[in-house]
Amino acid sequence: MSLFLDECQKEKDEVHVKYGVDGFCTKKFEANITTRGLDFSLLEKGSRLAIGSAEIEITKAGKDCHEGCPLRKFTHDCVMLRACAFARILKSGEIKQGDIISIVNEC
């Protein structure tokens, strides 16, 4: 599953305006869950989060850049490197808009 910082959505949407090209990921990536105020750079692989009655484990913070991405010619500061994370579900449960995300443990 994927998570994305809602605060960075505008930056992701305006990449084409700023650079004249879309990145592979900025054009196609859609998150399963959007978050607010969660700094993915502070979460290591294995960090566990509780959302609603569900629990997830971070498998990767940030997204690797594809070598052929047209955006790489213009910047190495792609929003996708810092504004998304990937996780696996440890415990299924109900997640609703507005649920608090809490760190269960940090690696």
CA 81 to chain centre: 8
The pLDDT of residue 96: 96
Q: Do residues 63 and 84 make contact, with C-beta atoms less than 8 angstroms apart?
A: yes
Share of the chain above pLDDT 90, in %: 59
The pLDDT of residue 99: 96
Residue type, 46: G
> Is the pTM here over 0.75, yes or no?
yes
Residue 77's pLDDT band (cuts 50, 70, 90): confident
